Amino acid sequence: MKQTTGTLVVKLVVLAIAAVLLFAPFLFQNVRSVEVAARICIFIVLVASYDLLIGYTGIVSFAHTMFFGFGAYGAAIFLKDMGPGWWPVALGAVGGVVVSLIMATAIGLLSLRVKAIFFAMITLAAASVVLVLVSQLSQLTGGEDGITYKAPDLFKPATKLLVDGNGKVVKLFGVSLNGKVAAYYFVYLSCLVLFLLMLRFVRSPLGTVLEAIRENEARAEAIGYRVVAYRTFIFCLSATIASLVGTVYAVWLKYTGPDTSLSFDIMIDILLMVVIGGMGTMWGAVIGAVLLVLAQYYLRDLMGAASEALSGVPVLPELLAADRWLFWLGIIFILLVYFFPKGIAGTAMQAGARR
């Protein structure tokens, strides 16, 4: 199938982003930048898994962070109780997936027959209940304080991946090949595998069926597809991927709490990333996640620098004060929605197709 110019440009941008993330520990040699790169990797997968629901199937859910939290808390609880090691990580991942599948199946079978807005409210209620339970079950989950634990020994900063003849850690481009680098590549490779699996899935015949259900549910039902079964399946698949990436994030962060894994703010971020990148395209998840995470981490700093540079100009320094970064982030979001109504990737691909 011949690719349009817009699609080709979007894919090249995504490949460039993947390359930058691949070499992030060597390109950006400070803790904050590597943390940003790891967070981008996590949110790319989290947003793409949500796009399976809202973009490819037309399901609006507010419970996606609930599944993310199940995976994170699964790893956190086992790592705290059993100590650092790979078995606690594996058991936590399996436990998080099992709980996510049970919840997703229950919600899917009971609720996916109702209208979209009612289903969205049901998922919101379920996520709220889980958030309250996690906050109250302090003996198991740590309550509002969360859980702090140790990651496997391979990911300790003191771990030497390669040593020279003198027993000193080998450096590559000035970066010590230690456990922190190993932890980053654990995140990167795990997210890459999950993203490629989703990409393969949406290109399969099953992905085409889901798009048919999104476009006209009644017609898909009339030609023989069991719509509820397909919608429940994709809901479970999305929940599984969100749970797995939650486990990866827990191993990276070495802390799990309501604010880092179950907060409704994370759900809002996911929605914004989907809209910015473009629904119904895996490439949009990459672009949306990169733009919003970078804005969250660096827009405040950029505005502070601009305010200082324009200190002699009336009004502008006050408007560009660092404390107003959320206001300008909102303005940027409105402009993106106005000029890219189908998201950046979706609008670019559509424009290329028209040409």
Q: 72-115, pLDDT tens digit by residue?
A: 999 999 999 988 889 999 999 999 999 999 999 988 877 666 66
Mean pLDDT for the chain?
A: 86
The band of 303, judged by pLDDT with boundaries at 50, 70 and 90, is: confident
* pLDDT of the residue at 326: 84
Q: What is the pTM of this model?
A: 0.91
* pLDDT of the residue at 339: 85
Q: Residue 62 in contact with residue 127, Cβ under 8 Å?
A: yes
The band of 286, judged by pLDDT with boundaries at 50, 70 and 90, is: very high
Output the six-digit token pair for 41: 């990797």
* pLDDT of the residue at 66: 94
Region 219-224: mean pLDDT is: 78
pLDDT at 164 over 80: no
pLDDT tens-place string over residues 123-144: 889 999 999 999 888 888 888 8
pLDDT at 352 over 60: no
Region 237-248: mean pLDDT is: 95
Collect all residues with Cβ–Cβ distance below 8 Å to 155 and sequence separation of at least 6. Answer: 179, 180, 182, 183, 186, 251
pLDDT at 71 over 90: yes
pLDDT at 259 over 70: yes
Region 48-77: mean pLDDT is: 91
Which range among 141-145, 159-163, 343-347 shows the weakest confidence by mean pLDDT? 159-163
Q: Residue 148 in contact with residue 253, Cβ under 8 Å?
A: no
* pLDDT of the residue at 130: 92
Which range among 30-39, 71-80, 160-169 shows the weakest confidence by mean pLDDT? 160-169
* pLDDT of the residue at 3: 62
* pLDDT of the residue at 354: 55
* pLDDT of the residue at 1: 43
More confident residue, 40 or 302: 40
More confident residue, 115 or 236: 236
Q: Residue 195 in contact with residue 188, Cβ under 8 Å?
A: no
Neighbours of 306 (CB within 10 A): 15
pLDDT at 214 over 90: no
Per-position b or e across 31-64, b if 16+ CB within 10 A of its CB: eeebebbbbbbbbbbbbbbbbbbbbbbbbebbbb
Region 207-235: mean pLDDT is: 80
Closest CA to 110 of 235, 22, 18, 24: 235
pLDDT at 118 over 50: yes
Region 45-70: mean pLDDT is: 90
Whole-number percent of the chain with pLDDT over 70: 95
Catalogue all structural domains in the chain, each as residue range(s) with its CATH number: 5-354 (1.10.3470)
Region 293-318: mean pLDDT is: 82
State the alpha helices, DSSP H only, in 112-158: 116-136, 138-141
Long-range contacts of residues 89-96, Cβ cutoff 8 Å, at least 24 apart: 89/152, 89/247, 89/251, 92/247, 92/250, 93/243, 93/244, 93/247, 96/70, 96/71, 96/72, 96/243, 96/244, 96/246, 96/247
Q: Residue 100 in contact with residue 215, Cβ under 8 Å?
A: no
Region 213-238: mean pLDDT is: 81
pLDDT at 266 over 50: yes
The band of 307, judged by pLDDT with boundaries at 50, 70 and 90, is: confident
